[in-house]
Structure 1
């Protein structure tokens, strides 16, 4: 997907893209990587695509999905549900439920935010400014 997007955008001389990934996505991906791939890591705040000038940023990684939804409701912003014809129940849905359960057990602990901050403090190279 990233290669196709990079190719398409470079035709229009667009080299910076901001994705909407949030702290909840980061926490889900972090847990998925541990369980499914036996590795520590998650989506990073910034990705510079090799062999291109493309830079991907994720400016919303410090906001939890629930907080974003609350802001949208407070501002009465429209919500667009994009229905993907390939969408089905995925492993990510399972990990979304795990994160939700953790938050129900320890609501004052801000699990998603703690995952993001832990990754920032870690020695995982991708999480440090290049």
Structure 2
């Protein structure tokens, strides 16, 4: 590789890393995800998203205006063929505190789920319970997961199409028992950026198909739909995510969320009285940059 090609590749990587840092820092600031003295448990699956999460958080930790601890946890679910050596070797090289939790959830899932049926739902519930228990044992104040912007959008459509709810995947979540705070610092990061970053960093990726389960076809269908929309209408995915940050309860149909029955003539309701606020409404922003610019938010600068 020539010097000029190397220089250009390094320049592009620096831009990519800065973008991921900026988006992560912005999400952390917007949702107050990390506070002084936090001890954050980073859930490391061996996939591109969780590797990137740990890497970016370590990067931000060195220059953040608050002091916080990081430690990694991996759940070894005893799937046949799981390469047990990869994560310990990687984490030892990083020099970070970590814990490998061994639980044979694979046997439980195989016992409960009929052959050929997708196992992801039960597997995730079992995993969540084990991670909550581990967080308590390790004294974690926050649990960090590697879900990104595209995961959040896909989850919203899954809930709309299959669950009948306008509900997504929150960037910050309190567990049902009120004991655990879950954060998703990559909430503003695009999957394509994460994939490129992981490839450049050459993370030792562990595939998520070791259990032999069928892919979650519903999520794959949603992902394919969104990718097709992106090809036909660049900027639409950014517009969808912007919409998730600009909810107008008075213009939906949830009587628990807005008191339609108490609405009286003469009241002024914020939200406008048109289905589309602007007559010059366009199908999609002209560029992705314009789409992101719609919701430009000032954040604590962690770079």
TM-score band, normalised by the shorter chain?
Answer: 0.7 to 0.9
Q: Does the Cα contact within 8 Å between 1:27 and 1:99 map onto a contact in 2?
A: no
Pair 1:68–1:76, CA change in 2 (3 A): same
Give the Cα–Cα distance (whole angstroms) in 1 for the partners of residues 204 and 186 of structure 2.
Answer: 18
Question: Could you state the TM-score of these two structures normalised by the residue count of structure 1?
Answer: 0.79
- Counterpart of 1:115 (choices 240, 254, 273) is 240
Give the match's secondary structure for 1:47.
Answer: strand
**Residue 130 (structure 2) pairs with residue 4 (structure 1):** yes
The answer to whether structure 1 residue 82 and structure 2 residue 171 are counterparts is no
SS of the equivalent of 2:245 reads helix
Unaligned runs of 5+ in 2: 1-124, 250-256, 258-303
SS at match of 1:121: coil
What is the CA–CA distance in structure 1 between the aligned matches of 2:175 and 2:248, rounded to whole Å?
21
Larger radius of gyration: 2
Q: Distance in 1 between matches of 2:157 and 2:236?
A: 15
Structure 1 residue aligned with 2:269: none
Tell me which of 168, 190, 198 is aligned to 1:42.
168
State the secondary structure of the residue aligned to 2:139. coil
C-alpha distance in 2 between matches for 1:73 and 1:22: 17
Name 2:229's counterpart in structure 1.
Answer: 102
- Whichever structure has more helix as a proportion of its residues is 1
Q: Aligned in 2, Cα 1:11/1:52: closer, same or farther, shift over 3 Å?
A: farther
Q: Deviation of residue 98 (structure 1)?
A: 1.1
- Relative to the length of structure 2, the TM-score reads 0.37
Q: Tell me, what secondary structure is at the counterpart of 2:143?
A: strand
Question: How much is the aligned-residue C-alpha RMSD, in angstroms?
Answer: 2.2
1:46-82 deviations in Å (ceiling 9; x for gaps): 0012434311011111112112112223444443323
Which runs of structure 2 are paired with 1:9-88 in the superposition (5 Å)? 9-85=135-211, 87-88=213-214
The offset of 1:123, in angstroms, is 5.1
Q: Which structure 1 residue ranges, 5 or more long, are not aligned?
A: 126-130
Tell me if the contact between 1:15 and 1:53 (Cα under 8 Å) persists in the aligned partners: no
Q: Aligned partners of 1:77, 1:41: CA distance in 2, in Å? A: 32
Partner of 1:128: none
* Alpha-carbon distance between aligned partners in 2 of 1:114 and 1:87, rounded to the nearest angstrom: 33
Matched residues in 2 for 1:24 and 1:89: separation?
A: 17
Question: How many aligned positions are there?
Answer: 123
